[in-house]
Structure 1
Amino acid sequence: MCGQKVIDLPQRSRDNHLTVVNDHKVYDLTDFARFHPGGSEILYNHRGQDISELMKSDRFHRHSQTAFQILDKYYVGNYHGRPTNVDNDGDRPENQWTIKNKHKKNEYQFNWDEPILSQLDQLGDYYFEWVHQPEEHYIRLFKSDILECLSKSPWWLVPLIWVPITCLSLYYSYQNISTQTEILHLPFAENGFEVKRRYLLWIYILGILQWTWLEYVIHRWIFHLKPINSSPVFVRLHFLLHGQHHKAPMDQSRLVFPPVPAFLFALIIYNVLRFMFPVGVTQSLFAGIVFGYLTYDLIHYYLHHGSPAMPYFKELKHYHMLHHYAHHHKGFGISSKLWDYPFRTLISTQTKNRLE
């Protein structure tokens, strides 16, 4: 073992490091703990222990190929001792990620310091599989510093921009309905339905509920639409819209939607609503949708970079991490699982217990 560092595991664990052993190698997971799909407390429960069986055996919890890939990045040295909890009765299968991926390991070379969009062409038919294998990288999309800046957004920019827009939409909706008669043409109302000011709150709430539906539709049928691999335009568009987030889910600067594309989506939604409804109703519905969107974006950020204590958000974090690290074809609900139930894309309890 010449040239390889031997770690004093008990001492390192006492020094406030979250260290574990896997196949006689020591990994320091201190910085990774808050990103762990099952929550940081699970890792801390195994602090200083050998997790070889837990990682690879069906008797415990077989982890995905991506889990082994991520684990390798936290390697700090070798351990030549013998942790007290090592199970010597069971077989230790080989590292499944190494077996299944060794033929692809050096097939694609990316320079992560250069714009990634221009490097995607080399992937060809392998793109959709590659983009759903998360890595810990900070992604650069564009060569232009201006475009690169516009492609990123801090989380606090979401409420800063969209809370005032929500309030203004509600204000103008109230003003319009107060000064003119607005009629909704509904199937059950032969002469139409007159909208009163007292209905605005309910229309606003309906807009929030409408967002939950839009969230699911956009996430499942737009963001997760498999692009035509032979078309560089479609591949790059997919990567811009959502692929970058699945490839680098820990990149804080790319977790909330940047203002420019968000404004474009908002403009489309507003004009569709305006085509269907009177102006006051449209503004109230739009306010609800915008509020639903900003809530979703903040929850999404919190699920990735927060450490939830409330059971609802703790479970939601686990659920969303499963979508990223094991089951990208399911679990499209982010702020809630509401629409995963009727569309049968719920990540079930049985699925959760085995991450393959």
Structure 2
Amino acid sequence: MVAKGFTVDLNKPLVFQVGHLGEDYQEWIHQPIVCKESPRFFGNDIVEFLTKNKWWYIPLIWLPVVAWFLVKSIYMGNTILDVALVAALGIFTWTLMEYSLHRFLFHIETKTYVGNTLHYLLHGCHHKHPMDGLRLVFPPAATAILLFPFWNLIKLVSAPSTAPALFAGILLGYVMYDVTHYYVHHGQPISEFPKNLKRYHLNHHFRIQDKGYGITSSFWDKVFGTLPPSKVEGKSR
């Protein structure tokens, strides 16, 4: 892809190249390269290694944390039913966060060198290489850093005894999202619901990228009017 005299060399580390695309960056990332090989991000081997994660890291690391917070809420005097209801509210809250992050942050339009570079690291790389299985889930180290301020925010907006259950529900919703996201890209569903989910998300990647922001469901796309049409004329973007 050539933009204003600049060519992205796919055989060299990509991260520090994409910023030079300027205004053409948005078009470039929405021309996917469908292959399972992971592109090179950085020249440094250690930094490059840290950008790659197996999908099963997510449930392995975070489900015990979810369980700990649920048990903590029970020990603080809540019934199992109360904890389950608050956790369910947390999961529902996550679905709105999932939609909002995907629509308003992951798909923000950039054109500066820094903006393009940061966006590529955050989400652009996933649209450019949608079948890269090692850069699909969010790195656990980055999640851990974000969870500390988020936990403090939860404590501010909920009662002390219900905060752990709400936090656990939101974290469980995140785990469900990341695992589902991996599955719709790399799984081979045989039943109707996961087939429809896979079709819905891949439609976002390969057909009309400014619609269909939901990953685990299309609920918020229906609420906010971003449900993709059944058919589109001409180019999707």
Q: What TM-score do the two structures reach when normalised by structure 2?
A: 0.90
Q: Percent identity of the aligned residues? A: 38
Distance 2:23 2:109 in 1: 11
Task: Compute the displacement of 1:274 (Å).
Answer: 1.3
Matches within 5 A, 1:292-307: 292-307=173-188
Aligned partner of 1:170 among 62, 70, 95: 70
1:111 counterpart residue number: 9
Q: How many residues align?
A: 234
Aligned partner of 1:325 among 203, 206, 218: 206
2:222 counterpart residue number: 341
Residues 194-239 of structure 1: CA distance to partner in whole angstroms, max 9, x if unpaired?
x766421110110111111110011111111112x13x22221111
1:142 counterpart residue number: 42
Q: Is the 8 A contact 1:163 1:291 kept in 2?
A: yes
Instruction: Give the residue type in structure 2 aligned to 1:122.
Output: H
Distance 2:188 2:81 in 1: 40
Aligned partner of 1:274 among 155, 159, 178: 155
Matches within 5 A, 1:244-323: 244-323=125-204
Instruction: Give the residue type in structure 1 aligned to 2:88.
Output: I
Aligned partner of 1:222 among 93, 105, 116: 105
1:243 counterpart residue number: 124
Task: Compute the displacement of 1:118 (Å).
Answer: 1.1
Instruction: Give the residue type in structure 2 aligned to 1:332.
Output: Y
Distance 1:213 1:117 in 2: 30
- Which 5+ residue runs of structure 2 have no aligned equivalent? none
1:34 counterpart residue number: none
Distance 1:319 1:290 in 2: 24
- Whichever of the two has the greater Rg, that structure is 1
Instruction: Give the residue type in structure 2 aligned to 1:172.
Output: K
Distance 1:270 1:154 in 2: 25
- Which 5+ residue runs of structure 1 have no aligned equivalent? 1-100, 179-194
Q: Is the 8 A contact 2:106 2:119 kept in 1?
A: yes
Q: Is the 8 A contact 1:150 1:260 kept in 2?
A: no
Task: Compute the displacement of 1:354 (Å).
Answer: 7.0
Q: Is the 8 A contact 2:22 2:116 kept in 1?
A: no
2:21 counterpart residue number: 123
2:96 counterpart residue number: 213
Distance 2:227 2:48 in 1: 35
CA shift in 2, pair 1:159/1:120, >3 Å? same
Q: Is the 8 A contact 1:169 1:283 kept in 2?
A: yes
Instruction: Give the residue type in structure 1 aligned to 2:178.
Output: D
CA shift in 2, pair 1:278/1:132, >3 Å? same
Structure (1 or 2) with the greater helix fraction = 2
3-state SS of paired residue (1:253): coil
1:156 counterpart residue number: 56
Distance 2:67 2:234 in 1: 45
Q: Is the 8 A contact 1:139 1:244 kept in 2?
A: no
